[in-house]
Amino acid sequence: MKQLRRCVTPLCAAVLSAMTLNANAALYRVIELTVSEDGENNTYALDATSPNADEGVVVGVGTAITETSDGDLDGGDDETNLASDNLGEYDLNGDGDDEDLVDDLEDWMLRYMSDYQQTYVAMVNDSLMEWERVNVWDTINPEDGEYRGTTNDYFFGVNDKRVAVGYGSAPYYIFRYEDEDTHDETYSIIRDFASRGFVYEVGDDVDGERIELTPEEYEYGGLSGAYDISDSGIAAGYSSVRFVEGAHDNHDSCIYDENLPEIVCDYRVANGYYGDTYHIEAYLWQLDSNANVIQTRALGHPIELDDDVELQLVSQAFAANDNGYAVGSSDNYIDTENPSLYNLREYAAIYTQYSKNDIGILDITDRNMYPANTVSETVSRATDINNNNIVIGYAIRYINTSWRTKAWYYDISSNSPEMIELPSFFESSSMTAKSINDYDMVVGEFEWEPRPGGVTRRRHGYLYDMRSDNFVDLNDAIECTDQFDIVEANVIRNDGVILATATTQQSILDENGDPIFDSNGDEITTTVARAIALEPIDGGDYDSCSDADEAFPDNEREGASFGLWSLLLPVAWFVRRRYTLSR
């Protein structure tokens, strides 16, 4: 839950001072959160402290620029990425002897292999200055003194005490051993865990301490992650809590039937080589004033399994408020009247087990309105909750021969609570709801193009004020001259500041950092995603834009690129995903 107050100082002041003031040109000023000194292809802001915190902090994720080899790894090509299944095609030591491939393969080479390269980096932005990367569980490789570069790291939440949470993976490394059958030296590329939650106190030292959110069940590695943290120090996320029936047998078979080392079998079982390994539950960690874990709580599932059932159950908590409620999603029955373990889907869930009104897990999805489908395992999700006990989320509904995602809200405190859809731009417009503040203002993304059939529809970020029933396309709320196309809104704070993702054009540079031009002398550009902050203008109004696209007036902005935007948005919604390795 984003617990943020009126715009009084640091973060708002930073926004105000960073932009040229133009009182009535638009509803929002735009500030771009620039890339880090390491450079990222795309950046995404996913949470921020409130203006009444000591200093403003934004956390998020960036997509790493792919590292390429220097020629010694590829037998002569200038640049390449290696895949784990084609090592035999490359001369790893540059001497033309393919028989030495295994002997000469070293840990530092893994950062150039497409199967192990880092894709996502955790990023923190202090006072709306430049992003900085935070290496979560990566380690320094003694062979070259650099980070191994084979982890994926994510920040999702931060509270007003500058305590941030997320999760990251362990780095890959080469484990060498003797094959018990052939007695030849061989190797496996493994890591200690795929996902481990962490707590990080934002400070002057970007390499400051990370506090592990240890899974309840961590044999073979385990899984954990955190998506949100309240000012009272409650981190919400997921944890492996026990083994799926048969997981231990798979581990024993790996050791005794396949004759593999135990550490290799740990990795294989934990990473789904033989099927699902862990039951995953929505989970809470209570932190003290020093950000140390002092209490944990698994929030359970709505389904109870017999001990001999070989089936994985997954639930997750995406947010928690100050009143004792957490929200997320869980596996549940498609037909609650005739429950069957062979007919499960992911449904929105409200967890009340640590509230004074503990009544268990609330299943709030109308199966008739939102029936299970073959398009997605997810039927509905609850994505956020405010301190008014209003929950938001999305659900999939069948409209005009197609399955469409619809945003909704649910008022826990209502006498007759139910999922109520937010008004759509048009009936079949797909929408998601991602964040709600304590003034009942919701942000997310929606399809603004009424294109028919299977044609891809472009999306924009929106703001919906529940109290005034006012819906705003955020691209209509900024200056026409802004070179951004706002494609999703991720967070809204109590002062009205919105963190969003926008696409824009960026020059393609040569090795000297100079722009590249085509045969006509025009600068060559590419579309990138950038994290932006939108700060409300006091007394602002809509800018009067000329229509750039007669077919879809008032929506096409400079910087938009049809089709490409969807390739740039794997993070802000994929990250809060159903965590399972083999489904």
What's the rounded Cα separation, in Å, for the pair 351 and 412? 11
Q: What percentage of the chain exceeds 70 in pLDDT?
A: 78
Q: Which helix (H) or strand (E) holds 254?
A: helix 247-256
The whole model's pTM is what? Answer: 0.84
Q: Whose structure tokens read 């890591």?
A: 191
CA atoms within 13 A on the CB side of 194: 20
Mean per-residue pLDDT over the chain, rounded: 80
Which residues lie closer than 8 Å to 142 by C-beta, 6 or more apart? none
Token readout for 355 is: 């509230």
DSSP string covering 462-515: EEEETTTTEEEEGGGSS-TT---EEEEEEEE-TTS-EEEEEEEEEE-B-TTS-B
- Residues 526-554 have pLDDT tens digits of 778 888 889 888 888 887 775 544 333 44
The predicted structure's pLDDT at residue 270: 94
The predicted structure's pLDDT at residue 307: 77
- Residues 384-439 have pLDDT tens digits of 999 999 999 999 998 887 888 899 999 998 988 999 999 887 777 789 999 999 99
Token readout for 234 is: 């409650």
Greater model confidence, 65 or 333: 333
pLDDT exceeds 90 at position 278: yes
Beta strands in 127-170 (DSSP E): 131-134, 140-141, 146-147, 153-158, 163-168
Which residues lie closer than 8 Å to 504 by C-beta, 6 or more apart? 32, 483, 484, 485, 527, 528, 530, 559
Q: Which residues of 530-566 are buried (b: 16+ CB within 10 A; e: fewer)?
A: bbbbbbbbeebeebebeeeeeeeeebbbebbbeeebe
What's the rounded Cα separation, in Å, for the pair 50 and 497? 9
The predicted structure's pLDDT at residue 100: 56
pLDDT exceeds 50 at position 340: yes
Rg (CA), the chain: 25
What's the rounded Cα separation, in Å, for the pair 342 and 411? 32
Query: In 287-435, which ranges are continuous DSSP H helix?
Result: none
Give the strands of the sheet with 361-363, arranged side by side: 315-320, 326-333, 344-351, 361-363
The predicted structure's pLDDT at residue 432: 92
The predicted structure's pLDDT at residue 243: 95
pLDDT exceeds 50 at position 581: no
pLDDT exceeds 90 at position 508: no
Greater model confidence, 40 or 210: 210
What's the rounded Cα separation, in Å, for the pair 376 and 403? 9
Count of CB atoms situated within 10 Å of the CB of 10: 18
Of these ranges, 29-33, 65-69, 288-292, 388-392, the one predicted with the greatest mean pLDDT is 388-392
The predicted structure's pLDDT at residue 20: 35
The predicted structure's pLDDT at residue 553: 42
Count of CB atoms situated within 10 Å of the CB of 260: 18
The predicted structure's pLDDT at residue 570: 38
Count of CB atoms situated within 10 Å of the CB of 528: 20
Q: Do 497 and 535 meet the contact criterion of CB atoms below 8 Å apart?
A: yes
Instruction: Tell me how many helices (H) and strands (E) the chain has.
Output: 4, 32
Mean pLDDT of 379-386: 95
Mean pLDDT of 234-251: 94
What's the rounded Cα separation, in Å, for the pair 472 and 37? 35
Q: How confident is the model at residue 85 (pLDDT cuts 50, 70, 90)?
A: low
Helix (H, G, I), strand (E, B) or coil at 96: coil
What's the rounded Cα separation, in Å, for the pair 235 and 528? 32
The predicted structure's pLDDT at residue 571: 39
CATH topology for 10-66+117-568?
A: Methylamine Dehydrogenase; Chain H (2.130.10)
Greater model confidence, 560 or 36: 36
Token readout for 85 is: 């299944």
pLDDT exceeds 50 at position 320: yes
The predicted structure's pLDDT at residue 554: 45
What's the rounded Cα separation, in Å, for the pair 44 and 63? 9
Q: Do 399 and 421 meet the contact criterion of CB atoms below 8 Å apart?
A: no
Of the chain, the end-to-end C-alpha distance in Å amounts to 29
- The residue extents of the domains of the chain are 10-66+117-568
Lowest mean pLDDT among 92-101, 364-373, 508-517: 92-101
Q: Are strands 498-507 and 28-32 parallel, antiparallel or unpaired?
A: unpaired
- Residues 453-498 have pLDDT tens digits of 566 778 889 999 999 999 999 988 888 877 888 999 999 988 888 9
